[in-house]
Amino acid sequence: MPRPDHHIGLIVPSSNLTMETELPRMLHARESVLPEDRFVFHSSRMRMRHVTPEQLRAMNAQTGRAALELADARPDVVATACLVAIMAQGPGHHCAAEDEITTVLRDQGAPAPVVSSAGALLDGIKALGARRVAIITPYMKPLTRLVAEYIEDAGTEVVDALSLEVPDNLAVARLDPDDLRTHWRRLDLSRADALVLSACVQMPSLASIQPVEDAAGLPVLSAATATAYRILAALDLPTFVPGAGSLLSGRVHRPAGAAGPLPAGGPATGDGGP
């Protein structure tokens, strides 16, 4: 008998097209190998069109309302998916954002673990044992600097960063993920332990994660693959997705002191990937 579906709540920017594409693709690909686990998705949107500090702050102010809407669906886990909106508020802000959503869910009688893409990326880097990373973002350079500072505040050195400088969020979603197979070669990876191919949940990258990892000889992750990793761990499931890089190989253990809470009694990670 199949297990009940896992209900995943997503909080996304109104102009985000990618998180609701890449995350289901990853977990549905997982279903093809591990069919006993099935996933369904429920989204609430927060208004944001342009990736500017002003619009990011205005979007963050809608978090409580979005969490309240998802509480009505009684999700098994909730992921808030705008990395830069959280990181632009200063180091450690993912903890405050996760706590705000957790409180709303609990007050509505719908307690569930909460994942942020910002905290998930930090967790993914730690899980890979990476002390130094290079990153690619679609942001303007000032926002990329904020992301790099956020990662460094968590204890990981950013040895190089590439900004594609696309301010319109819909234009970011239309970037060709195959271009990343060339962009990564513009980075100095001589000191990097891992490559963050997309430090943004809006910039598509899933199709290039495994090919770039194979070519670079380094673990490659993205904000989206890291979010999938945290979701699976929060559901107490093996952290495995086929063809999505080392982080989702099912063999990477969640480190002690990771960036956010998981359910009490859950394992560090799954190790049951094929």
Q: Is 82 a catalytic residue?
A: yes
Q: Is 200 a catalytic residue?
A: yes
- 129 Cα distance to chain centroid: 17
Distances (CA, A) of 58 to 30, 50, 89, 143: 35, 11, 12, 16
Of 27, 77, 175, 200, which is the active-site residue?
A: 200
Buried b (16+ CB within 10 A) or exposed e, 34-47: beebebebebbbbe
Taking alpha carbons only, the member of 99, 93, 105 closest to residue 67 is 105
Asked if residue 68 lies in contact with residue 30, where contact means CB atoms within 8 angstroms, the answer is no
Q: Is 48 exposed, middle or buried (0-12, 13-18, 19+ CB in 10 A)?
A: buried
Label residue 218 left, alpha or beta by phi (over 0 means left) and psi (-120 to 50 means alpha): beta
The letter for the amino acid at 113 is P
Of 70, 81, 82, 110, which is the active-site residue?
A: 82
Task: Give the residue numbers marked as catalytic.
Answer: 82, 200
